[in-house]
Amino acid sequence: MRRSYLSGWRAAVQRWPLAVFLFAAACVPSFAFSALAWSWLADALDRSLATRGLLTDLDMNVFVDLLEHHGEGLWMLGLAGLLLTAVCWLIGVWLNAMAIVAVTDDLPVRAAAHKSLDLYVTFLALDVLAVLVDAALLLAAVAAGRCLLHWTAEAPSELGVYGIIAGAAGIAGMLLVLVTSAHDHARIHCAATGAGAVGGCLWAFGFVLVRQRQAVLLMVLLLATGGAGWLAYQTGAKLLVTTSTPGILWAMLWGELFLFFRAFVRVWRFAAQAKLQTLAEAAA
Q: Give the span between the Cα atoms of 110 and 181, in whole angstroms.
A: 27
Domain count, the chain: 1
| Tens-binned pLDDT, residue by residue, of the chain (284 aa) | 788 898 889 988 988 888 888 888 887 777 666 666 666 666 655 554 444 455 445 555 555 555 555 555 566 667 767 777 788 888 889 999 999 999 888 888 888 888 888 889 999 999 999 999 888 888 888 787 777 767 766 656 666 667 777 777 888 888 889 999 999 999 999 988 888 889 989 999 999 988 887 888 999 999 999 999 999 998 988 887 766 667 777 887 888 889 899 999 999 999 999 999 888 877 76
Query: Left, alpha or beta for 106 (phi > 0: left; psi -120 to 50: alpha)?
Result: left
- Contact between 12 and 272 (Cβ < 8 Å): no
- Please give the DSSP secondary-structure letter assigned to residue 111: H
Helix, strand, coil % (nearest 5) of the chain? 85, 0, 15
Give the closest residue to 66 by CA, choosing from 84, 35, 42.
42
**pTM of the prediction?**
0.79
Backbone φ and ψ of 244, nearest 5°? -140, 165
Instruction: Report the amino acid identity of residue 61.
Output: N
- Domain membership of residue 224 as a residue range: 2-283
- Contact between 95 and 18 (Cβ < 8 Å): no
Residues 6+ apart with CB under 8 A from 176: 134, 137, 138
Q: Give the span between the Cα atoms of 115 and 48, in whole angstroms.
A: 50
